[in-house]
């Protein structure tokens, strides 16, 4: 059965104040889907007056094309009745690939007119267009949804949405680089005399490892990784003893893997966004001097060069793999 979160919720003054105190971020992108040109324009005008950037489409197919072209959007606002499907179907598809996207049904249809049973536990906000003040409520709900979406169990870069868009250009064919990255992680483990070395890409909810020497792991929840902190720094992040660091002392994942030492250098794309890390782990506390930090940064730079080369070959058609 479809779960509906309360419509019309507004932020308290205290919560709004906390939002205003956050660092300035790139305005969120709202994808609006409605086959009625006038109603689509009215919804976009209301959202843009609220400070959002919008992109308008008139069908589910056009929405899919827009998401494929620009990458994940922050919020989807859609009519229920679309010429090539339903708004609930579009929401379900969007959430399958981008679980963090806020979704709002902004529709002329009443709940009783919708086939909600067919879509399982699809969670969406609901605003009826013909209710008084519906445009204002739409803006308020979008603000509210995006605000709570950003309250995570781990820190986010100020430009997280742009960073994820950058990441999407490099994460399409990770297996193609596995052999060369495996050589780098094996070499790094020997160079620094650590238990394991890895290359990981940090997406919206997890870290996915392209190579991991000395450990057998494909991915970890982002909140369980030290790398989600490392991508916030320009230089190398070193945790000499995770059990003595208040950020990680209660981390059950690290404890189970017997990880106490960590060093990670960001994989920095040409636009300056960190999409992941080249990292080292060990079971005993240790120091990591300036020379070692320089060498680890070189491993990260070499890895990023390989990712960038693969991206260029793919985007120019020079890579048929």
- Distance between CA atoms of residues 201 and 225, nearest Å: 11
Helices (DSSP H) in 150-209: which residue ranges?
A: 160-168, 178-192
pLDDT score at 94: 85
Among the four given CATH numbers 3.30.450.40, 3.30.420.80, 3.30.1130.10, 3.40.50.2300, the one describing domain 167-315: 3.30.450.40
pLDDT score at 179: 84
Domain residue spans in the chain? 3-151, 167-315
pLDDT score at 1: 25
Spell out where 117-205 has E strands: 123-128, 196-202
pLDDT score at 318: 63
Question: Which residues contact residue 315 at a Cβ distance below 8 angstroms, ignoring those fewer than 6 apart?
Answer: 169
Query: In the chain, count of helices (H) and strands (E)?
Result: 10, 14
To 5 degrees, how large is the angle CA 299–CA 235–CA 229?
100
- Distance between CA atoms of residues 149 and 164, nearest Å: 15
Q: What is the pLDDT along the chain (321 residues), one digit of tens a residue?
A: 233 333 333 222 222 222 223 333 345 689 999 999 999 999 999 999 999 999 999 999 999 999 888 777 889 999 999 999 999 999 988 877 777 788 999 999 887 788 777 665 667 888 999 988 999 999 998 988 787 665 556 778 888 888 998 998 887 666 677 888 999 999 999 999 999 999 999 998 899 999 999 999 999 999 899 999 999 998 999 999 999 988 888 899 999 999 999 999 999 999 999 999 999 999 999 999 999 999 999 999 999 999 999 888 887 876 544
Q: 167-315: same fold as 3-151? A: no
Largest CA distance in the chain: 67
For residue 241, give the 3-state DSSP assignment. coil
Torsion of CA 19, 21, 27, 29, to 10 degrees: -20
- Distance between CA atoms of residues 76 and 28, nearest Å: 11
Question: Which residues contact residue 269 at a Cβ distance below 8 angstroms, ignoring those fewer than 6 apart?
Answer: 166, 169, 170, 275, 304, 308
Name the token pair of 278: 């080249």
Which of these, 133, 74, 83, 129, lies nearest to 103 by C-alpha position? 74
Question: Any idea which residue has 């956050």 for tokens?
Answer: 22
Q: In what order do the strands lie in the sheet with 206-213?
A: 219-221, 206-213, 196-202, 274-282, 261-268, 237-239
Q: What is the pTM of this model?
A: 0.57
Among the four given CATH numbers 3.90.1150.10, 3.50.50.60, 3.40.50.2300, 3.90.105.20, the one describing domain 3-151: 3.40.50.2300
């Amino acid at each position: 059965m479809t779960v509906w979160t309360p419509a019309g919720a507004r932020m308290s003054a205290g919560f709004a104040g906390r939002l205003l105190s956050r660092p300035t971020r790139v305005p969120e992108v709202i994808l609006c889907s409605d086959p009625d040109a006038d109603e689509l324009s009215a919804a976009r005008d209301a959202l843009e007056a609220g400070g959002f950037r919008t992109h308008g489409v008139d069908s589910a197919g056009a929405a899919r094309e827009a998401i494929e072209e620009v990458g994940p959007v922050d919020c989807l606002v859609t009519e229920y009745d679309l010429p090539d499907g339903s708004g609930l179907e579009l929401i379900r598809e969007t959430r399958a690939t981008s679980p963090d996207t806020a979704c709002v049904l902004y529709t002329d249809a009443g709940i009783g007119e919708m086939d909600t049973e067919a879509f399982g536990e699809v969670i969406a906000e609901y605003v009826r267009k013909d209710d008084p003040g519906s445009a204002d409520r739409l803006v308020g709900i979008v603000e509210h949804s995006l605000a709570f979406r950003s309250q995570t169990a781990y820190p986010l870069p100020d430009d997280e949405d742009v960073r994820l868009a950058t990441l999407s250009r490099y994460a399409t064919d990770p297996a193609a680089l596995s052999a060369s990255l495996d050589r780098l992680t094996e070499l790094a483990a020997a160079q620094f005399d650590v238990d394991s070395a890895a290359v990981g890409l940090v997406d919206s909810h997890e870290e996915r490892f392209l190579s991991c020497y000395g450990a057998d792991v494909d991915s970890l929840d982002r909140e369980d990784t030290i790398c989600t902190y490392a991508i916030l720094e320009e230089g190398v992040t070193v945790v000499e003893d995770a059990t003595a660091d208040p950020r990680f002392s209660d981390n059950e994942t690290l404890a189970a893997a017997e990880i106490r030492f960590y060093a990670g250098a960001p994989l920095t794309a040409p636009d300056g966004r960190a999409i992941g890390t080249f990292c080292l782990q060990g079971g005993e506390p240790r120091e990591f001097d300036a020379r070692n930090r320089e060498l680890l940064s070189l491993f990260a730079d070499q890895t990023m060069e390989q990712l960038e080369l693969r991206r260029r070959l793919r985007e120019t058609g020079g890579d048929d793999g």
